[in-house]
Structure 1
């Protein structure tokens, strides 16, 4: 298929079914082939980065693509308040269903159980669920063209920002990536920490019958981009792809931890 025909996550919201997306890439179904890449990798990297780095603070802002929240289970132990920023209305509805324990909400119990197992408290996953739900104080919708994202949330810059997949989906090219990264970094205070999860060398992913665009890059590009915008890289790790599926074509999962240099 011609790449120009791929749809855009933030422009074709009506074609991006959030529940199908979750069931395809994040479910606890034993036949779900993306478990190691999409569920275990983000959970484990975030857990170890926070624990080993002794990274704490008052506010974490998560500005990610999709209605996934599993990468934040460890964060609720280190940050008092979590604000989620999302571009997609369906995505926000899925998150609110989960947070409010509503009928038909997507179950993240498998991810919560994995985190508590890492913490040596395998029988406390339900308490972990409640703690994360309580820590999330706002779910904010934003437009990717919004220049001043801080105006949307009306709070001081965050101690930590987490970007999960968003830049992969909304960026057309390298210049676009740099522009969006700079805009997002305005949410982060000097000395604050940034975590990023991305997919290396991807060009598309599939939701139902629809193919969606992904910006193609590798870890070298991202490291250079971070340095250019004033970030000190603390950790960069790529896990070669484990899943076997024709639904997407990335070849590895990328995790970066960085610190925003003081003025």
Structure 2
């Protein structure tokens, strides 16, 4: 077994975002993460948005790689989606899809997942076009900076979605809490934060590279959010179904929370 000290770090060495999509989110016959990485987050996002409590003008996405499947449901409820990425390669791969370029990753296989949800029974192509229109900016960010999008200042968000980013960027649990605090600063008072993560994971593999993952459990995630002034509205845990050597997570977690009024928020503005 590889010594964990030799694992690469997402924010330092980065990874191939297209390979990540192929390994974990594609429609290939040997891609075994469909239940865990596609269906579980899509179903929970569809439910949480259709309840009607989460909507507004601005949604910020701080997620791993170049995936967009988790944003298809959100584009029905937000006027503007701003995507923040820590790696340039992730932005380039995302823009291939945004610009409908030849060779862009094909998301048609998620149609079946969306069609299982009555509110999302339209053609995926229509949803994809709506999402493309909703994504107003794709911006490089640095989680270590006081203003992570410096010199740009993003507008206060009604909602933030962060899918698996904390898992791969945090070196330890203190980092997790520190980044949650930064996310909180980007939200309006009362704004919502949706976290999708992998529990009890120590590594994940992209291509030939084994990368570091933060190990934490449901109890830690809950306490970290509450400790940073969030009220948890929903929490679901999905036990692993995938059989694969690519990663060793034990379960997926979906948490929707809102920020209590009275906290400070970021100032304006992208124009």
Smaller-chain TM-score bracket: over 0.9
Asked if 1 retains the 8 angstrom alpha-carbon contact of 2:73 and 2:120, the reply is no
- The alignment status of 1:253 with 2:215, answered yes or no, reads no
Aligned twin of 2:230:
231
Q: CA deviation at 1:151?
A: 4.8
Distance in 2, matches of 1:34 and 1:139, equals: 26
Q: CA deviation at 1:89?
A: 1.1
Segment drifting more, 165-174 vs 140-149: 140-149
Alignment of 1:204-243 (within 5 A): 204-243=203-242
Distance in 2, matches of 1:63 and 1:152, equals: 18
Asked if 2 retains the 8 angstrom alpha-carbon contact of 1:10 and 1:144, the reply is no
SS at match of 1:146: coil
Distance in 1, matches of 2:53 and 2:124, equals: 22
Aligned twin of 1:5:
6
Which string of whole-angstrom CA distances, capped at 9 and with x for unpartnered residues, describes residues 199-232 of structure 1? Answer: 0000000011110000000010010000100000
SS at match of 2:144: coil
Distance in 2, matches of 1:155 and 1:10, equals: 21
1:193–1:31 Cα change, 3 Å: same
Q: CA deviation at 1:174?
A: 1.4
Q: CA deviation at 1:18?
A: 1.2
Q: CA deviation at 1:155?
A: 3.6
Number of matched pairs: 261
Give unpaired runs (5+ residues) of structure 1.
none
Asked if 1 retains the 8 angstrom alpha-carbon contact of 2:162 and 2:196, the reply is yes
Aligned twin of 1:85:
84
Which string of whole-angstrom CA distances, capped at 9 and with x for unpartnered residues, describes residues 150-171 of structure 1? Answer: 6554342100001111110111
Segment drifting more, 244-253 vs 155-164: 155-164
Asked if 2 retains the 8 angstrom alpha-carbon contact of 1:142 and 1:152, the reply is no
Aligned twin of 1:134:
133
Distance in 2, matches of 1:190 and 1:239, equals: 30
1:220–1:201 Cα change, 3 Å: same
Alignment of 1:161-200 (within 5 A): 161-200=160-199
What RMSD, in angstroms, separates the aligned Cα atoms of the two structures? Answer: 1.4
TM-score, normalised with respect to structure 1: 0.95
- The alignment status of 1:35 with 2:34, answered yes or no, reads yes
Aligned twin of 1:158:
157
Q: CA deviation at 1:113?
A: 4.6
Asked if 1 retains the 8 angstrom alpha-carbon contact of 2:61 and 2:160, the reply is yes
Distance in 1, matches of 2:232 and 2:120, equals: 31
Asked if 2 retains the 8 angstrom alpha-carbon contact of 1:149 and 1:184, the reply is no
Distance in 1, matches of 2:71 and 2:240, equals: 22
TM-score, normalised with respect to structure 2: 0.93
Q: CA deviation at 1:120?
A: 5.3
Which string of whole-angstrom CA distances, capped at 9 and with x for unpartnered residues, describes residues 77-119 of structure 1? Answer: 0111100000111111111000110010001112245224413
SS at match of 2:248: coil
Distance in 1, matches of 2:136 and 2:230, equals: 27
Distance in 2, matches of 1:149 and 1:162, equals: 16
